[in-house]
Structure formats: structure tokens, C-alpha cells
Amino acid sequence: MPQTKQAKKDLRKSIKKAAKNLGIKSDIKTLAKKTLVAINAKETKSSDMVKDMIKKLDKAVQKGIFKKNTVARKKSRLMKKLNKIAK
């Protein structure tokens, strides 16, 4: 347990930040699952869903939730699946 006043404040801040990050990660995972289902079903709206997914991933990198290479890998795999279905 933190002893000093500043350490207690840091603990409060980290708990709030972790909760916020968890919510954003959860949204991204949910959108990823929906996008993959749409791609596999060859729906016409799947390309729009991919664009939304990429936008959310880029925002997450800006906020420091994901690392840059992690998001690049996710975007690459997503586009690869979309392009494979488009052919």
C-alpha cells in the first residue's frame, strides 16, 4: 500500500486510467469480432467496418493504449482478410 500522499494519488490515477483503457480495449475487441463476422459473411458493409476499426486502433495508439507495431499487425491482418474476400 502507498504510504505518502502523492503515492496514494498515483494509485487513484492508475486505477482510473486502467478502467478507461480496459473499456477502450473491450470496444476494440468487440468491433474486431463483428468486423471479422461481416468479412466472413461477405457483407457489403464490411469495408466500412474495417475503416472504423482502423480509426479506433489509430486513436488507441495516440492515447498510448496499444503499441504502434501491435496496431500495425492488427490492421495488416484485417486488410489481408478483407482483400482475400474481395477477390
Count of domains forming the chain:
1
Share the mean pLDDT of the chain. 94
- Which position has the grid cell 492488427? 74
Question: What would the mean pLDDT of 6-14 be, rounded to a whole number?
Answer: 95
Domain that holds residue 45: 5-86
Position 59 pLDDT exceeds 90: yes
Position 36 pLDDT exceeds 90: yes
Please state, in angstroms and rounded to a whole number, the distance separating the CA atoms of residues 45 and 52. 11
Amino acid at residue number 32: A
Query: Which residue, among 16, 64, 19, 14, has the nearest Cα to 6 in the 3D structure?
Result: 14
CATH number at residue 76: 1.20.58.110
Position 4 pLDDT exceeds 90: yes
- Work out the end-to-end distance of the chain between its first and last CA atoms, rounded to an integer number of angstroms: 57
**This prediction's pTM:** 0.83
> Which three-class secondary structure state does DSSP give residue 87?
coil
Share of the chain above pLDDT 90, in %: 85
**And the C-alpha cell for 47?**
469495408
CA angle, residues 53, 74, 54, in degrees to nearest 5: 25
Q: Which residue has the higher pLDDT, 34 or 87?
A: 34
Q: Which residue has the higher pLDDT, 74 or 43?
A: 74
